[in-house]
Amino acid sequence: MTIARLGVVGGGLMGSGITEVGARAGLSVVTVEVDDDAAKRAAERVEASLRKAEQRGKLTADDVAATLERVTFTADLEALADRDLVVEAASEDERTKLDLFRTLGSILESDDAVLASNTSSIPIVKLGAVSGRADRVMGVHFFNPAPVMRLVELIPSLTTSPETLQRMQTFVSETLGKEPIEATDRAGFVVNSLLVPYLLSAIRMYEAGYASAADIDSGMVLGCGHPMGPLALADLIGLDTVRAIGVSMYEEFKEPLYSPPPVLDRMVEAGLLGKKSGHGFYPYDR
């Protein structure tokens, strides 16, 4: 059961990245946003990324043109009806995702079509339960920036069929050329279960006045050889996303290290979300 038609719900940083990955792999891609303006911004985001790849010599002008021809941007969820695989990359809000899976499960025409979520922490089994096709629902978690990062976490739930998991393993490794790892359906999966407590610890250190954001980040870059400091990384991920993952993990495990610090709550409430909003722990040129 070859996957040739990909659908993506959400055209933000992750959704546009997944769109680009699929289109560069030769797939027909339909990306759905909340309205026409958001769909236009998603199209611009994908084209800008492709042009950067062209400037770096990774793609030719013909490659860029051919890739863009394979993508359609729309605000109509019904446009996903004929897709072989739909990856949901909406905001990290459980109610939003449940509503989407309930709707998508009724839209998809093929009984073989797979529904996947790019969630970082929300239980996959819940999404499958509302979809009406629980055996064909699983987590397929890309990392930002999706066109560059090679890892994809695959998260089957208790109700995901072995055939669906095998199909996604083949799709990720052979069609997309990325490296899949399998994780159990627990909040945080593999990477975020390790990464998010580290990020939250750095935020607590900043909140307590141990050091400036720049010095905390320099300490980890220069002292531990990390490519990016934890606060800059939190800004890149999005502080609202970091907070949402922490909340989800704390609700499941009740471990204090997963609980978002008060300063993170305040920054999210103030709209200081990191790079995507123009300001987080650092200012950014939007």
- According to DSSP, residue 3 is labeled -
Q: What is the dihedral of CA 138, 144, 150, 154, to 10 degrees?
A: -10
16, 118, 120, 248: the catalytic one is: 120
92, 117, 153, 248: the catalytic one is: 153
Distance in Å from the first CA to the final CA of the chain: 42
141 included as an active-site residue: yes
Q: What is the dihedral of CA 157, 181, 161, 23, to 10 degrees?
A: 110
Q: Is 68 exposed, middle or buried (0-12, 13-18, 19+ CB in 10 A)?
A: middle
Token pair listed for 237: 């991920």
141, 157, 248, 277: the catalytic one is: 141
16, 117, 157, 192: the catalytic one is: 192
Concatenating the DSSP letter of every residue in 138-200 gives EEEEE-SSTTT--EEEEEE-TT--HHHHHHHHHIIIIIS--EEEE--SSTTTTHHHHHHHHHH
Q: Which amino acid is at 124?
A: I
120 included as an active-site residue: yes
- According to DSSP, residue 286 is labeled -
Q: How far apart are CA 148 and CA 126, in angstroms?
A: 30
192 included as an active-site residue: yes
Q: Considering only CA atoms, give the Rg of the chain.
A: 19
> Which residues belong to the active site?
120, 141, 153, 192
